[in-house]
Amino acid sequence: MTIKLSALCGCLLAVQAMTAQTVTGRVVDGGGRPLAYANVVAMSLPDSAFVAGVMTADDGSFTLDLKDTGRLLRFSSVGYKTVYADPVADVGTVHLEALAQVLGEVVVKSDLPQTRLKGEGMVTGVSGTLLEHAGTIERMLDRIPNVSARNGEIEVFGRGTPELYINGRKVRDKSELDRLNPDNIRDVEVITNPGARYDASVTSVIRIRTKKAVGDGFSLDNRLFGELNDYGYLVGEDNLNMNYRTGGLDVGATLRANKWASPDPKTTEQITHLEDTWRQRSKIDQVYKDENLYARLAVSYMFNQDHSVGISASYNRQPWNKPSGYMESILMQDDALTEQLRSDYTASTQATTLQGNAYYTGKIGQWGIDFNTDWMYTKSNLTMNTVEDYTKTGLQTEHNDVTTNTVPRSNLIASKLVLTAPLFGGELSFGGEYSYSIRKSAYTVLPKGIINDNHSRTEEGLATAFVEYGRQFGPIIAQVGLRYEDVDFDYYEDGRRIAEQSRSYGDWFPSVAMSAMLGKVGVQVGYSADIRRPSYDQLRSNIYYDNRYTYEGGNPFLQPTKSHNVNLAASYKWLMFSAGYSHIMDPIIEHSETYNDDPAVALFRQVNGEAYDKVFASLNLRPTIGPWHPSLMIGVQKQWFKMAVHGHNPLDNPLATIRFNNTVDVKLCEISLNMSCNTTGADENNYLRKPSFRADMSLYKSLLKDKLTLSLYVSDLFKTGKNSVVTYYGTMRESIYEPKALRNVNLTVRYKFNVTNSKYKGTGAGQGQKSRL
């Protein structure tokens, strides 16, 4: 049977070779910049019927296999004039000129749409747009449709925290992202239903592609950042990127040092419903202070366009991290005061992370090869001292002095191989990955007797395999994939394996995606299954002491969260609509329960909730009118979350988000005012109980032909950006959190000399396990 199938495939390929002609070339815009995703169509004559077609690659290149009936080539892209040419073997460089429409006295440029649908993702162009002047990568991402990025947290609307890639290489930590600058970015792709080549724990992906590196020699890019916040703390960061390139050799180095002070004031109220109603009201004022040093060295050598090798190593050291703060609390029993508490804490942390990557990318014949091996080591030491004075009504003040020490260690090694090859007019990708990780943790408490000490170890091996196939059928691009993951997890306490907390399981994860450009309308539909495995810290069996009223515990019996997801998207010129549906099983949610039969004391840990459904939809409008560049995003999400609560249950209420960004490009500078608003609504067991509004303002100015740039940024201009959230833990307890709004003012000064981008192409391995460590 196998011989017959191979012979049949050989005959088909031979027939195809005899009847096909290969046409190559490159499409650029009027300024000579590559045009990605332009349509190249072969047509017959004289009826102009469709014969074959492809889209151009990121660098504008294309390869088109057409039959003898293809007599005319058509090159087109939305917002550009259509060009025709004869189907010669090499058509060279094809230039498409932009269209422009005059409406009264306002000129609306019809350039390539800033956001377009491609395969399984939505691609937003950055090069040549005002997004280049956002100042930082985080602010740039915050202006991408369906993406929010603030205070180090990045989220894709409706799909949670994304996995980040830069030129195909996984972002290993925040420092990897910080060293980039928006004007080095070509485009950003947002994928809401990742395919089989991604770890099944990934719910969304953001792929950042930089501009093509040009030129040899030494380059330097230094960014100095300073910030002043409402508490009077002056903090800052210096980020120095250096690169040397000659021929195929590329050497890049990054040095970064920062000093931060992040205030975190808030008020909380914990309500417990027993025979009596207990209310614990707290005022918390704390600040997180730390210093961080980061260094990375990457060396790569490109033998030619088909073969490249490289190695990199990074060192991240936190020599000084000292958060501190206080909490003042009162405890009420049916409105009668029963206890008062003053709790002060100081903490000290030192942490070190070492990471390395080695890679080979190449092409042998028609086979593409992408191999990566990674290793990671982390070590930290956290000591926290809590001093408490509490007074029960009618009694003397009592005193507690508790010291806790946590010492975790983690090791990981992982390798990943991906092979690609053309097959039946499309592309086949398959490969596998294996990672092995060990995490050890020692936890001690003084004085003895409050909580038992704990020494635990977890070991996990993860083996995966995937296959993915994509092909274009006329204007339609289709992709289908299947992934299998096998996990072997062992849990040890005091050197003894705990059988009931160890487990092995395997899962299949299918994915399908299709997209098409039908004239000026783009459509996209996709399906994927994913899994969210609990972190190693969530799986611990011991309990941590926070203060007299609060303890934190792990749950070794947590099950992974699995979900089935469907997405739909459509675009027309500067309009973009997207929607999705998810069925989520065994969601991991925070739970609170009474500890030691004391209603004033809560133990927080994660548990699995009931399965529920969620839908979300968003509309993005991004026109350009003269110097004004508005962007409006309206998003709504609605869930059917199953949890019984005390009194009225608002957890099924929809939650809406509105973002209105405005940038005016004048000769003197660029001025941006970005506003966002959230309505009341629910997200799992959290309910936003009050609407919130926030406005950020920035000014951008370039000097010395863009070698020197200045960026002034004010976050939360009117000090209104605070969220009042109530978290429900069932019928017995809920907690209300109200953080204080803070305004920050920062200035970024950047100087660059002969800047070139690194050619390092390592994509990384073991990324899902790294995030869990």
pLDDT tens digits for 141-175?
988 989 988 877 899 998 988 999 888 777 766 66
H or E element, residue 9: helix 2-19
Q: Which amino acid is at 510?
A: P
pLDDT at 271: 93
Most confident of 108-112, 440-444, 471-475: 440-444
pLDDT at 773: 55
**How many C-beta atoms lie closer than 10 Å to residue 96's C-beta?**
21
Short-list 690, 706, 684, 709, CA closest to 698 = 709
Short-list 291, 271, 290, CA closest to 282 = 271
**How many C-beta atoms lie closer than 10 Å to residue 302's C-beta?**
19
Q: Is 204 in a helix, a strand, or coil?
A: coil
Q: Which amino acid is at 607?
A: V
pLDDT grade, residue 1 (50/70/90)? very low
Beta bridge partners of 552: 544, 604
pLDDT grade, residue 104 (50/70/90)? very low
Beta bridge partners of 672: 663, 698
Round the average pLDDT of the chain to a whole number and report it: 86
207-216, 413-422, 554-563: the lowest-pLDDT one: 207-216
pLDDT at 89: 78
127-131, 246-250, 380-384: the lowest-pLDDT one: 127-131
Report residue 682: phi and psi, to 5°: -115, 150
Tokens of 271: 């309500």
pLDDT at 58: 67
Give the C-alpha separation, 679 to 693, whole Å. Answer: 9
pLDDT one-digit tens code per residue, 707-738: 898 999 999 999 999 889 999 999 999 999 99
Tokens of 25: 């070339």
Mean pLDDT computed over 291-300? 94
pLDDT at 17: 38
Whether the Cβ atoms of residue 193 and residue 568 lie closer than 8 Å to each other: no
Q: Which amino acid is at 745?
A: V
Report residue 772: phi and psi, to 5°: -75, -30
Say if pTM beats, i.e. exceeds, 0.75. Answer: yes
Q: Which three-class secondary structure string do you get for 473-509? A: ECCEEEEEEEEEEEEEEEEEECCEECHHHCEEEEEEE
Q: Which DSSP symbol is given to 132? A: G
Q: Which DSSP symbol is given to 740? A: P
pLDDT grade, residue 3 (50/70/90)? very low
pLDDT one-digit tens code per residue, 662-688: 999 887 888 999 999 999 999 999 999
Q: How many Å separate Cα 580 from the centre of its chain?
A: 18
- Look at residue 247 and tell me whether its pLDDT is greater than 90: no
Tokens of 522: 């783009």
